[in-house]
């Protein structure tokens, strides 16, 4: 069962293949979502400073009845924190908000502040500072693994050229119709585990005819097909939901997509709009 399956990061830390994304789940509602997920069998919970629900996630983690050592918590340094001091301070603040003694995986949320996402200014020097803060937090035991998110190849190379500790993950938007194969390959070649956020394309994949037809062929839901797709790319899958029924259904992915159908899914016409999720802070409206 996928809930019992793990990848191993470059430092030997084990990370569950399937996690619960918590973006857009309110701080007051996220504790129950976390506890429901853990009851179902999830052991990987993903949050971020930008989500505004770290405190609630922490309450869910601390009240779920499962030992902390059995859970894997991912957090993200805000995209706007682009100095050593700001990043280091934010890590301490996240630990305090969540009431945790350590975070399993801390990553840089974005190479640029969201308002400048994919703009000409690349913030290479600033990201090297933030990375140093992550390395120091790792050495101090505040975090068990460190990585990045939304980093392109040159953003990653910027860190690889100066780091003492290499990034262990790169969390990137990946779903059927949006599969950055060159970036995924670069990550794997450099010992960086790629993670897929929004593997169901913020829900838009559920409306796609080609995906629905392929799901019907395998006797599964479109959401299950989407999650299985990124798992077969050897990526962590991080579907977001607060609905316990959806949480449970998202774990029922113990089937295999044929190599031929994987290739077909890689070539599905790109989903261009994510509806209400197309704007800041995810894509800054760009």
Pairing of strands 6-8, 14-16: antiparallel
Residue 254 and residue 265: Cα distance in Å, rounded? 18
Residue 227 and residue 138: Cα distance in Å, rounded? 30
In 117-244, at which residue ranges do the beta strands (DSSP E only) sit? 146-149, 169-173, 193-197, 236-238
Residue 127 and residue 113: Cα distance in Å, rounded? 11
Active-site annotation holds for 6: no
Residue 176 and residue 201: Cα distance in Å, rounded? 8
Residue 129 and residue 150: Cα distance in Å, rounded? 17
Catalytic residue among 7, 42, 51, 102: 51
Q: Which helix (H) or strand (E) holds 85?
A: helix 84-98
What lies within 8 Å, CB to CB, of 245 at 6+ separation is none
Residue 174 and residue 36: Cα distance in Å, rounded? 26
Give the active site residues.
51
């Amino acid at each position: 069962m996928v809930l019992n399956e793990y990848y191993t990061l470059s430092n030997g830390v084990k990370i569950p293949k399937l996690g619960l994304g918590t973006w857009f789940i309110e701080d007051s509602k996220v504790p129950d979502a976390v506890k429901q997920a853990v009851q179902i069998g999830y052991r990987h919970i993903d949050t971020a400073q930008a989500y505004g629900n770290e405190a609630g996630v922490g309450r869910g983690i601390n009240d779920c009845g499962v030992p902390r050592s059995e859970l894997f918590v991912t957090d993200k340094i805000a995209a706007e924190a682009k100095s050593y001091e700001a990043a280091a301070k934010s890590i301490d603040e996240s630990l305090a908000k969540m009431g945790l003694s350590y975070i399993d995986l801390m990553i840089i949320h974005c190479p640029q502040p969201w308002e400048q996402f994919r703009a000409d200014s690349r913030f290479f020097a600033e990201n090297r500072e933030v990375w140093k803060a992550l390395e120091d937090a790792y050495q101090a035991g505040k975090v068990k693994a460190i990585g990045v998110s939304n980093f392109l190849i040159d953003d990653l190379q910027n860190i690889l050229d100066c780091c003492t500790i290499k990034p262990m993950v790169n969390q990137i938007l990946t779903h059927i119709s949006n599969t950055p194969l060159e970036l995924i390959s670069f990550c794997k070649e450099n010992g960086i585990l790629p993670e897929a956020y929004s593997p169901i394309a913020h829900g838009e994949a559920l409306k796609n005819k080609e995906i629905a037809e392929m799901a019907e062929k395998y006797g599964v839901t479109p959401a299950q097909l989407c999650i299985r797709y990124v798992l077969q790319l050897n990526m962590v899958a991080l579907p977001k939901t607060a609905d316990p029924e959806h949480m449970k259904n998202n774990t029922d992915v113990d089937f295999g997509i044929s190599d031929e159908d994987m290739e077909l899914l890689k070539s599905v016409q790109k989903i261009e709009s994510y509806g209400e999720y197309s704007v800041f802070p995810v894509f800054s409206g760009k």
